[in-house]
Structure 1
């Protein structure tokens, strides 16, 4: 089998001015909120031309403008306005959206090496970073295009990046570029795995990709479990979901373990479990009526955990440790499939009754969550997360652009979700905060004598009250994390992230979220 085509990220060079003498660049993309922001940085004739055009076009501040000018690099100027940024509902995404629109226009007219110019914002501290991330986002080429259509494997040769704003120190802007490129590397990995079709990214091929991605790394270690007997012994709920697919070698599940240890005395440990369902048929509770399409994106949780480790491998933050488990499996439908009414015992000893085989995501994550819980008790300052495209209910509740964060008691006391939301707001990766309640724990309590927990009801999550909150209760209860709540002698902070809305959907590439917010929360202060 041919080697995987690992992602690349376009080189970005900091430029000090916008002179037309910069012959190595072939276009200038200006991202600005107001035209007067650029006056001191470009020739007066450029401003005059744009002012004249603004008088002819009532939509000047709402759409991309392209003009020819001898006085800018490449003689092509793309003015991409953010629109208003001072209203109650405006956020920093105005900058990423403007950058994306401007760079797409530059690429569409044949530019390969544009300069992106931005000018900061008084309201949004990371407007320049978000602008560059928006520009880099446009350059991603899907894995299967890179492999199958090599002449289309890249969209741009390089970027110049100009910041018309003073920086905290001489090296800050260079560090900002390095940070943005690392995040884009992580997002590209998340998109590669998350966006690969069900065969290209079947579990064994996900494992191959991850092993090759970190091959030779002295910072990220990779281990893998593929033996069915080991699944059954140590990860029995995962093993149940894997049963139907396990009779087909190319669909056999993989548990992939990642570890990063930074230099110096560790002061923070992040432990993550990612749902990696490479295709979700629904199992024996099969998805009918055409709703199976798009289910290859059900692995975006595991994909983005991998992407976060790629960022760690690029930036090598000190005094930081991360442990990840990718629960990669295919929820197939077949005679070996697990069934509703089946009684299973989790790694933590909790007996569950299966209510719906289409609730497989919580099944594959619960035992790995128990595993990292056991590790967390020995780690320094641990934060536990599950990341999953888990429920349709979260999309019904919050729409298609937001990650839901659900804290347990210790995480709520730590304000983990609030910190994530603040980090996400800074970097254009927004969150909504949900709360797990006593009704959620009551909902999952089995009413019979045989089982402790009911895995799920037999309605869709979007038709169920609190449909994205009660799965967080299930994960806490079945992993044994409920024994490490605020009332425990060993409390552990745990936050469940439902990315069903924010991860993206076909036919578009996955978003790679919430990698930027996790980086902003845990890494930015270490590397900027």
Structure 2
């Protein structure tokens, strides 16, 4: 989808050549003499339109307006969140309508946040999955023009929103692929394509290389599947020489049967989404490729399947992690933390300024926070605050959860340094406490996206979260960092 930003007043917007116009109408709306705002003014006066978020009124072949379709979309107080709701509802209503060229007119007082919201909402509402359909009905909207009163004033926000939208869509597409398509090998191939297209450093390690690194915990999960594991390393060098990078670690379980501790059959198909963390890291790098922010970023993705087999790890088995810590595996369905812990140990070699792992980790987090906010755990208050602020700005919300030492007591075992599960109570927290044991050498945060990475039901599918949050966080670090003084060179991770 091609996004454009234009300075257009309502009178010029009414004359713009396009198939449909969405006019966002906020509270306090005052019509002028042009055909577009006059139409909205008459509808408000007649009570046919309300400026409440999500309220829509359709018009066809209105006099003086070049577009054949007009949607008047209520946006409440005109805040970014209300603009998001308005645009999402309007664009959703235009799906399968044949519209190819769309114009979205934002209120004159629309700020940078409202522009970001309009772009990302348009991309989300118009997304259609077609990759594995024999007769795909693709997205019809090809060009979207966002009209504002002063394009120069919001240009930077618009460009950042375009990049974020591209990354979110990339993550959604990967996560929506069936598990026989989105294998660990496929994720490695996608990483290589991103690297080639955008100049990233990239390594994709196979089973022998992973074993040589001493990643016994990761290999224990992978050993039950015939699909070979992959450990993916991506690097963007946009910051100054020697600047400590941000390391993003994404859980890449491309299908999770639960292993020997097998899951119930109902809804097991949704376990293809268990690589949502990996998809979000790749999606964030897709967004990075658009604007190449002035920050050093490393992406680490441990990827494998978790399958039941004669070679599968068993409850009661003890494995040795890359850190040297031994782990008693009490439940093979708690596998995400087993691959992440070795990736966290690997992250130490980059001497990172911050490490953020992203994982569809626990059903307990879904129970606690539902699908609205991702769970945020952090060992560093400043990192937690920065991520929370980034989530608020991107409207990709998270909520900080506790990490009291007492929560780790349930992970004690008589037979190893740590068990991979505790009891049912506080399950999202005890999972985070497990990961924290492997993240003591750098500022660390953990995002549990089990409730936010996908939706169930009639609208089943990946959401692309938390790409928006992660990308906004990287942009905030760029804004506080000095510009690089030397030409960047592609870096590669040491094995």
Q: Note the 1:294-305 alignment, pairs <5 A.
A: 294-305=270-281
Structure 1's 15 and 125: CA in aligned 2 closer, same or farther, altered over 3 A? closer
Q: Who is 1:466 aligned against?
A: 426
Note if contact 1:404-1:432 (Cα within 8 Å) is conserved in structure 2: yes
Could you tell me which of 381, 404, 412 is aligned with 1:445? 412
Cα offset, 1:34, TM superposition: 2.0
Note if contact 1:421-1:432 (Cα within 8 Å) is conserved in structure 2: yes
Note if contact 1:304-1:513 (Cα within 8 Å) is conserved in structure 2: yes
Cα offset, 1:373, TM superposition: 2.2
Q: Note the 1:300-319 alignment, pairs <5 A.
A: 300-318=276-294
Q: Who is 1:350 aligned against?
A: 325
Cα offset, 1:440, TM superposition: 2.0
Q: Who is 1:184 aligned against?
A: 165
Q: Who is 1:11 aligned against?
A: 3
Distance 2:19 2:157 in 1: 23
Note if contact 2:363-2:450 (Cα within 8 Å) is conserved in structure 1: yes
What root-mean-square deviation, in Å, do the aligned CA atoms of Structure 1 and Structure 2 show?
A: 2.6
Secondary structure, in 3 states, of the residue corresponding to 1:325? strand
List gaps (5 residues or longer) in structure 2. 481-495
Count residues with an aligned counterpart: 476
1:499 counterpart = 2:470: no
Distance 2:27 2:51 in 1: 13
Q: Note the 1:321-332 alignment, pairs <5 A.
A: 321-332=296-307
List gaps (5 residues or longer) in structure 1. 1-8, 86-90, 485-491
1:286 counterpart = 2:262: yes
Q: Where do 4+ consecutive residues of structure 1 move more than 6 Å?
A: 57-61
Q: Who is 1:111 aligned against?
A: 99
Distance 2:28 2:107 in 1: 11
Deviations 1:485-511 (A, max 9, x none): xxxxxxx21001101111113453311
Distance 2:55 2:409 in 1: 51
Structure 1's 82 and 371: CA in aligned 2 closer, same or farther, altered over 3 A? same
Note if contact 1:14-1:173 (Cα within 8 Å) is conserved in structure 2: no
1:258 counterpart = 2:245: no
Structure 1's 196 and 180: CA in aligned 2 closer, same or farther, altered over 3 A? same
Note if contact 2:25-2:51 (Cα within 8 Å) is conserved in structure 1: no
- Decide which moves more: 296-305 or 10-19: 10-19
Normalising by structure 2, report the TM-score.
0.89
Q: Note the 1:62-73 alignment, pairs <5 A.
A: 62-68=54-60, 69-73=62-66
Could you tell me which of 344, 354, 357 is aligned with 1:386? 357
Secondary structure, in 3 states, of the residue corresponding to 1:468? helix
Q: Who is 2:475 aligned against?
A: 523
Distance 2:80 2:393 in 1: 7
Q: Who is 2:349 aligned against?
A: 374
Could you tell me which of 1, 20, 38 is aligned with 1:27? 20
Q: Who is 1:5 aligned against?
A: none
Normalising by structure 1, report the TM-score.
0.84
Cα offset, 1:310, TM superposition: 1.0
Q: Who is 2:69 aligned against?
A: 76
Structure 1's 58 and 209: CA in aligned 2 closer, same or farther, altered over 3 A? closer
Structure 1's 39 and 501: CA in aligned 2 closer, same or farther, altered over 3 A? farther
Distance 1:521 1:265 in 2: 20
